[in-house]
Amino acid sequence: MPEIVFVQMPQSSSILSPNNISTMRKRKTTDSPHSSTDLTEGKEKLRLKQEVGLISGVSLIAGTMIGSGIFMSPEEVLYRMGSPASSLLIWAACGLLAMFGALSYAELGTIIKESGGEYIYILRIFGSFPAFLFAYTSVILVRPAGLAAVCLSFAEYAVAPFYPGCSSPQVVIKCTAAACILLLTIINCLNVRLATSIMNILTAAKLLALLVIVVGGLVLLAKGQTQSFQNAFQNTTAGIGAVGVAFYQGLWSYDGWNNLNYVTEELKKPEVTLPRAVMLAIPLVTCLYLLVNVSYLAAMTPTELLSSGAVAVTWGDKVLGNWAWVISLSVALSTFGSSNGTFFSGGRVCYIAAREGHMASCVPLGPFSFFGPSSPRHLAFLLSGVKDIAPLLVHRRESLMYMSCQVGGDDWVGGYWFHSFCY
């Protein structure tokens, strides 16, 4: 910081002469180690490269949304709603709400073309203090809890084949989840293109797995297995509390629709790519979710579905037989890909908050370059990876999920609230 000295100036009109003003400007430029031009150039250097295109944008949204929810939540949604038809309506309504929220965010993203998602929007519109509170709440509690919940789901499916006929030890599950977070940290530190390439591959794999479930369900329906859809609205629950919890479970499966707004600076032509990616990804995911739920109900009766600990695995045992292991592998890959998308976007919040001065300035502005020119991004990801392991101390995945939802608020609720106050 340049030293600031207050000097009492003589009351003379000559002090404001053009020659003196010119001399003062030259002296300021010469003496100051960080001129305004240098600071502007330095800030421009901190902007991330535009390496995310339309395909990667769609993969980021769809790949993050399709995680553990569609393989675990259908049982809870059906239990809360009481009937197959009402549960399908909940899934469709959640998709519609996610689409409305994403379109609101797309409008904000095309106006404020900066990374950081809600943080940068609050900062530019409401000021520094609300943005500061949001950044620390999101970075310390909300996102780590959500990421830990998804990684625990990955660990449960990844270690299950090694413990046939019994439940997996909690220590093994938590260690596997921690290893998953560390692996994601390394991947995202190495290269942005590597992270997006892995995300694209895993998104294609999980879409293929969902298509297998959809095709299997259509074949069962063609064979006449429609028992679950007879009197489909019977025993429907009308309680507000039950419907609210069902929405929580459904919206958890749609979580991630706003992730592309966290990497706006890295989009190629964000004013075009952001809306197109939203309008392609979310309807695709919504249709797949509805068809997958129909396939579950075609293979199982509501009673069988409610008694299933893992709906997708039970579906695989009934329909695929000896190939049921494909579903377990698909769930593991799906949750890993969703964790990668969450980590990819979550690290940007640390980076942007530090760049704006709301976190330790050594993260984006440190004078020592341990990792080369990209050390600010690397340090932000390392910080993000270390803090994301802490929530694994919570015992249950459901506790982490509700912690993420209740503290941070559902994204679509926040999207509508925020959009209404911006205009």
* Distance (Å, whole) CA 311 – CA 343: 26
- Measured from the Cβ of residue 11, the count of other Cβ atoms closer than 10 Å reads 6
| Residue 327: pLDDT over 60 | yes
* Distance (Å, whole) CA 107 – CA 104: 5
What is the percent of the chain with per-residue pLDDT over 90, rounded to a whole number?
16
Residue 339 confidence class, pLDDT cut points 50, 70, 90: confident
Per the prediction, the chain carries an average pLDDT of 75
Q: Choose between 167 and 175: higher pLDDT.
A: 175
| Residue 377: pLDDT over 60 | no
Residue 51 half-sphere exposure, CB side, CA atoms within 13 Å? 10
* Distance (Å, whole) CA 191 – CA 199: 12
Residue 6 confidence class, pLDDT cut points 50, 70, 90: very low
Nearest by Cα to 306 from 126, 75, 21, 116: 75
Q: What is the value of pTM for the model shown?
A: 0.74
| Residue 89: pLDDT over 90 | yes
- Do residues 56 and 277 touch, judged by C-beta distance below 8 A? no
Q: Which helix (H) or strand (E) holds 307?
A: none
What is residue 14's predicted lDDT score, i.e. its pLDDT? 40
Q: Choose between 342 and 90: higher pLDDT.
A: 90
Residue 34 half-sphere exposure, CB side, CA atoms within 13 Å? 8
Tokens of 53: 């295109």
Q: If DSSP codes are grouped into helix, strand and coil, which group holds residue 244?
A: helix
* Distance (Å, whole) CA 290 – CA 254: 12
Per-residue pLDDT, averaged over 250-266, amounts to 88
What is residue 123's predicted lDDT score, i.e. its pLDDT? 92
- Which of 227-231, 347-351, 393-397 shows the lowest per-residue confidence on average (mean pLDDT)? 393-397
